[in-house]
Amino acid sequence: MNRKKRINSFKAVLPSLGRNEAYCRNLAVAFLAQADPTVEEIADVKTVISEAVTNCIVHAYKNERDESKRKIYIEGVQFEDNTFRFTVKDKGCGIEDIKKAMEPLYTTDAESERSGMGLPIMQTFSDSFRIKSEVGKGTTVTFSKKVSGSDEG
């Protein structure tokens, strides 16, 4: 089994607040920047992180009144071949039917005029994409992006 060597990583835990969506997006892009990514690679990662974090904010904790339990867990790993793996996790309500949730235009929040495109968009802009969820326990989105730039860090 050929395992890629990790060369850098970060972890952060933030309150599930709308204002932290931009923070998470910028954190991921700052981490990615060390490998001199293209504008398109940056845009792809920004989009996926933004969608994943927004799902934590809008959907994961919709029934959780205790704000101390409403957390976003974000992690990034850089591998020696300039592949970056990002994980966005919540400990919220979970997704009942992932296959259904992956369908374009499906949303559990139609009242808020949600498009239901978040998960399909995340998959489209990722080199690899995985979602795991358990009702009542939370959801974990993991995706990777290989950066074509140089690694001088």
- Can you tell me the distance from the alpha carbon of 6 to that of 19, in angstroms, rounded to the nearest whole number? 30
Domain count, the chain: 1
Q: What is the pLDDT of residues 50-88, one digit of tens each?
A: 999 998 998 899 888 888 899 999 999 999 999 999 999
Closest to 90 in 3D by CA, of 152, 8, 13: 13
- Find the CATH number of the domain harbouring 121: 3.30.565.10
Active-site residue identified among 21, 41, 51, 75: 51
Record the tokens describing residue 135, joined without a space: 């009702």
Q: Is 6 a catalytic residue?
A: no
Containing structural domain, residue 84: 6-146
Whether this model's pTM surpasses 0.75: yes
Q: Is 82 a catalytic residue?
A: no
Active-site residue identified among 20, 21, 55, 70: 55
Q: Is residue 152 part of a domain?
A: no
Question: What is the pLDDT at residue 110?
Answer: 52
Q: Is residue 79 part of a domain?
A: yes
Q: Is residue 1 part of a domain?
A: no
Q: Is residue 151 part of a domain?
A: no
